Each structure stands twice: as structure tokens, then as C-alpha cells.
Amino acid sequence: MKITLPEIIKNRMPKTRKMRLAAAFSALFFILVAMAVFLVGVFSDLPDVKALREYNPPRTSTIWSRDGVLMAELFNENRYPIDPRTLPRHIREAFLAAEDDNFFEHGGLDYLGILRAAFTNVVEAKVSQGGSTITQQVAKSLLLSPERTLKRKLREAILAIRMEKNLSKEEILNLYLNQIFLGHGSYGIEAAARTYFGVPAKNLTLDQASLIAGLPQAPSRYDPYKHPQLALERRSYVLGQMEKNGWITAIEAKTAKEAPLKLTGYRNLFKSVAPYYAEEVRRDLEDKFGTKTLLEGGLRISTAMDSRLQKAAEEALRSGLEEISMRAGYRGALAKVAKEEDEEVYRSADAPTDGSRGRAVVKAVGADGITVMRAGQNFFIPVERMKWALSDLFPSPTARFRVGDVVFVKFLSSKGALAAHLVQEPKVDGALICLKADTGEVLADVGGYDFSKSQFNRSTQAQRQAGSSIKPLLYAYAVEKGYTPATQIYDSPIVFDTAGLDKKWKPKNYGDKFYGATTLMEALVKSRNVVTVKMLQDVGVTGAVNYLKALGLESKIEPNLSIALGSPAVTLADMTATYAVFANGGYRHAPIFTSRVEDKEGRRLLEKKPDQGPSRISAQVSCVVNQMMQEVLRSGTGGRAGGLAVPSAGKTGTTNENRDAWFIGMTPDLVAGIWIGYDDNQPLDDTETGGRAAAPIWKDFMEKAVRHYYEKGDFPVPSGIEFARFDSVTGKLPSASSEKAYYTAFLEGTAPVTPPSGAKSKKKESADSSVDYQDPGNLDLLR
């Protein structure tokens, strides 16, 4: 049977149609299933928008000085939540104009706004407008992850609608203005107002508010510090939108658009106000409360720091270290600038201010001085301000400097203008700490020359040998054991045979000299090592170690005679706190940095008050040693610290080979300590003793400190004390032949009453004496 082609087609068509229909239905089924699965994924596990009523974002913790200066902000997100309803109308309207001018009309999604933004972006061929409402932005920021996917966008839309049904518009705007990221670590309008303009948000002017309101779309792109022109263009757009919506007049918009961009100058308070002090507080509280609470809990941390003394301490230490570096000689240019384009880093550097330091480029050199450039400004430095850098080999500026040299300069205000001084950035470092003598409150703490280069706090973390700064503590023990300032000891050679040493130990004085008959007071005033060793040998090492521990020294102390020369390694903070026993009648207080911590609700979490406790030494012994230490400043090794307008006392310290230079001193109200040295323990120059390197820094600081802290008059003199004058050599009442006499305090009944019998003795003891003793170490020359 013959079958034609049309019949074949006719017979096959139904089967083909069925197959196509089956395929279509299968595809539709799978599409519907996929859509169902997708929608289940969109709707499943959606966050509960009602939880936003309990909005509790990470908050900035703040550290404050005792005189109300904000020292530092600690945060993961720099945020200060406020109630936006307290803000002026123009601030809220600026954000609405920039991000969602239909906010109070839509129900979470602005469909016309989405279409308008899409059309504008197509016409302008760039993304100039966003389609997300403020409600959507809140949903994305607080409830969703930041990935860019269709699923996340749908979830955002659903949550926006739910938020509008469960929260008021004011609640949503509150969340937005406190949550939004606005650049430079700032979250929320309050933090941004402080970061960019240094004012609370409620004080923002129209031009300031409109600039900040333009940031959410692209904080980095419109950063006014980095891209001022783009920021101003964005500000103009926001102001235009505000005018368009009738929220401001054309004149107000024009005035605000023409307002100059006046930023406060963004600075990290932590690093610029009191970095070593703030870091000490941060480390301590992180141990107590944990990182999360410290950085997100909105704590208010009150400290004992006085910003006036802190500033004085930083300047005194930095200037003193620079002086030490300059005495060592000019090290040469820091770098060379060969081309003008290479000057840009110095041209765009921070503008100099009074007391600031920084690198500058030499632009001209003459016989009378050099001209340097920093931040686009030229400064002339006359030869009088650079003599320290000249030498026999380089006797003039033209011999020493070349155009293009990079030098280190300090700026000081002089006659209403800034003057540049050539200084030298030191390699040596140091520390300064100051405490209230009667409470232990730390009024100032500077742990090094430059926190940006080293965060190691040398006042609290560095364990360094005490040198002769330990002597007053040992002399106090000697007074308790029956010694008096007039007790006579022979300063003469002595040798110790010590097991384990290749040679005998022969303690020496600074300068390898011996002085014969010496009174205890003379030994302290002139820092005689050998006399102190003999005294310690007599009163007993074990008892002395126990005494040092009782005074509060926390370091490990080996029980041997090298203690007399300051072998124990101690921190500056520990030693300075211990010295307070000589200023306040025998009491020692642990250093207090943090005085109070409150949570965001103002509830007290921590409060530190001075721990009075029992006295460490008697008031009478404290007075005797204090009077001896006053003479150290009048006629002894601490002479460069003398001459304050208020009563003062102290002691120098210099360790073997000048590796450490100390000065710790006090007034009736304050006790302050200075340490100078290298972190790698290399020696200072031969002349850089405690009296030369550290004492002038102490005086420089104290001259400013006592302007604010001097209330008590003189040091206390308790009952049980008598004063007497005695010959500095014989220890007896002075006579016509006395070359020098001291007038000082004695425990009642111990002052000298016997006149000298004949001439003063300057006989030196024989060097034959030999004593077996435990290894005293190798501290030979300390002062």
C-alpha cells in the first residue's frame, strides 16, 4: 500500500504535539518548583523586625582626664547614639533630601523613586541616584548580610515592608541616623559631626549637615578630607534637593553652597592627646572587662591624668631627649631631596604649630643660616639656633648643610609668629611619670619619645637597674638601724673575694676616687658608692631586702651587696611610687591611672580610691631622709634639679657604664621620676649621668607642674624630730676649722652634741681588708 507524505505527517503530528506539551509542562513544573524553593529561601528565617525596638548598637567608650579633657575614644565602630528628634529640622531634612525625600509617604518601598533613579542613571550613564529607601537601608544594615544578590534584595524589600508595619517612621529614622556609616570610622550623625567639624550633631549648620548627609552613598568617594571638590559637589546636590522640596529657600541654599569647607582636621585622639597614658588604661581595662565590652560598651572612663601636667611632661621629656641627642653631635641629613617633585611629601605635611616637630627640606644655605620648607611654608633658621650642629670640621652652615637636605625641626611661637629650631630626633629614649604624693594618682605618664614608633611604655613596662636612685631607701633602713646623717664611715678601698668570679670585686666611686672620713649625709649628697656598700654590709643585706619589699618594691631583689649600687631591676613607676614615702610621712600608694568606670547607663563598674593602709616607714625616718635628699638638690649630684620656687628633694641615679640615668624627686604635693637610656641597653655618653641627663628634665617639668599643684607649704616635720648642724666630715658639731657643715633633721636624741677634738681626719683606710660574700655583680661605677 502506497502511503503519501501528507499522510505520514498527519499520522505523526499528534505524537509530536504531545511530546512538546509534555516538555512544556515539565519545564513549567521545574520552574514553579525552583521558584517555590527560591521563595521559601527568601521568606524563611527572616529576622524579626520587632527586635529593632531593642536597638543596642556598639558604642564608643571614652577616656577622660581629671580636668575634663577627652583623651581617647575606644571602638570597633565609632558611634554615639542620640535621639534624632532632638536635632534641628534642617539636619533631618538634609538626610531625607539626599537619600529618601519621600520617606514619610511610602510604605517601605518607593516604587516611583526606584523608576526615577533607574531612568536618571541610564540617562547620565552612571549611578548617580540609588533606589533604596531609608527603611531598606536600615534593613540591609541591621538585619541582613551585605552581599549583592537578588535573594538579598527581595528579603530587604520584605523586611522594609514589615518594618513599616511594626515601627513608626521616627523609630526607623532614629535607627538610620545612628547606624549609617559616614566615613573615617564614624557611624551615625553624632560621631560624624565630631569627626568632621568637632561639634555635637545638634550644632551642625546647614552647610555642615548637608555635607555629612551626602556621605552615605559613597563615604570614601565624597570624603571631604581626601576629595574636597567632590564633597562640595555632593553638598550642592543635597542642598538643591532640599530647595526643590521646599525645605529651605533659594537664598538659604545659595548661602550654604557658597560656604567654605572648614573641617576641624581629623585626628586620632588616642594617638595625639596622651597616647602612653591612654594605652596604659586600655591594657588594664581590657584585662578587667574584655575587649568587646571595652570597645563596644560605651564606657565612660575617668582617669587621674591632669592634661596640663601631661602636656608639660611630654614637652619636657621630648626636649630633654633632643638635648641629649644634640650634645652627642649632629648625625647628618636624614635624607636628600634631589628633585622638586620629591618635595611633595614635605610640602603636603601637617602644618607646623607651636611645639610641633617634623621633617623639613633645606631650600637655601647661607653664612648666616638656612631656610627650610615644611607644609609649603619657608622658615629661616639663624646660625644661633644651630650652633650645636657645627664643629671644627664643619664650622659654618655652608660647610654643614646643602640644599635638598632633610632635617628635623622644632617649631616654637616667638613674638606672635612661629620660629623654626634645628633639633635632632633622638635615638636614646626615656620616660617620665608624676604622681600625687598623698594619693598615688598618676597625673602624667609619658612612656617614650614617640608613641607612633614605639608603644612600649618605659615607665611601667621597662625593668631597668636602679643605680644610686635606690640609696635613699637603703639609707632609710640604716636610720632605722641606728645610723644618723652624722654617722661617720671611711670612704676607702675594700675588696670582696667572691666565689664564681675570676677576679676580686672592688667597689668604686664615680671617678675612681676615695674620700676618707665621710658622714652618711655627705655620702648620700655626693652619691658615694663605697660608703653605701660598707653601710649595707654593717646593717645586713637580708634585712635590707626585706625592708625594700616592705616599702613596696615589687621586683626580684637578689640578697647581695650589689644592692648598694642599685643592681635590682625596677620600673620607673614602682620606684617613683615608693619615693612618695619621703614626701608624705611614710605612706606609699599604688599608682592609680583609672579612677572610675561607668557603663552607658551611668552605673559604676569600677572605682579606685587611694589605699591609705599602714605607713611603710615611720614619719620620723621619712623626715630624716627627706631632709638629706633636699641637700642633694642644694649641693649634691642633683644640683641641676635645684632652684625650684617650692621645697624639693630628690636623688640621682646612674648605672654601670652610663646605661641608665635616673632622677626621682618630690615636692610636698608631687613625686616625679625620670629615666633615660637605650632600649637595647647600650651606654649613654660618658658625661650623661643622672644629674646631667635626667635632672634637668625633672626641673623643666616641675617648674610647670607646681604652678597647679602646690598646696601644703613645706614637707611635714613630725614630733620626735630635732634639727642640728654638724661638720660634713667629722659628724660632730662644727668648729671654726670646719670647711662645710650641714643643717638637717635627726631622730630625737640622736643629734651630735660633741664638738670636734682637733683637726678633721682625712686619713684613708688601708685597702687590705678582704671579705667573703655572695656575688655582688659587676656594678662598679654608679652615681
Q: Which residues contact 378 (CB under 8 A, 6 or more apart)?
A: 363, 371, 372
Residue 186 three-state SS:
strand
Report the alpha-carbon distance of residue 432 to residue 444 in Å, rounded: 8
Looking at the annotation, which residues are catalytic?
99, 468
Report the alpha-carbon distance of residue 632 to residue 179 in Å, rounded: 60
Report the alpha-carbon distance of residue 199 to residue 93 in Å, rounded: 19
Strands 377-382 and 369-374: antiparallel
Strands 377-382 and 335-336: unpaired
Report the alpha-carbon distance of residue 163 to residue 108 in Å, rounded: 7
Closest CA to 214 of 238, 180, 249, 189: 238
Please give the torsion angle defined by the CA atoms of residues 518, 648, 308 and 462, in that order, rounded to the nearest 10 degrees: 20
Closest CA to 410 of 364, 368, 352: 352
**Amino acid present at 603:** R
Closest CA to 437 of 320, 592, 250, 273: 592
Count of positions (residues) in the chain = 783
Closest CA to 174 of 57, 78, 299: 57
Report the alpha-carbon distance of residue 480 to residue 642 in Å, rounded: 28
**How much helix, strand and coil, in percent to the nearest 5, is found in the chain?**
40, 20, 40
Report the alpha-carbon distance of residue 287 to residue 281 in Å, rounded: 10
State the cell numbers at 16: 509530536
Chain-centroid distance of CA 192 in Å reads: 23
CA distances from residue 43 to 32, 109, 113, 151, 159 in whole angstroms, order as listed: 16, 17, 25, 10, 10
Report the alpha-carbon distance of residue 253 to residue 246 in Å, rounded: 11
Residue 455 three-state SS:
coil
Residue 575 three-state SS:
helix
Q: Which residue reads 626641673 in cell numbers?
A: 699
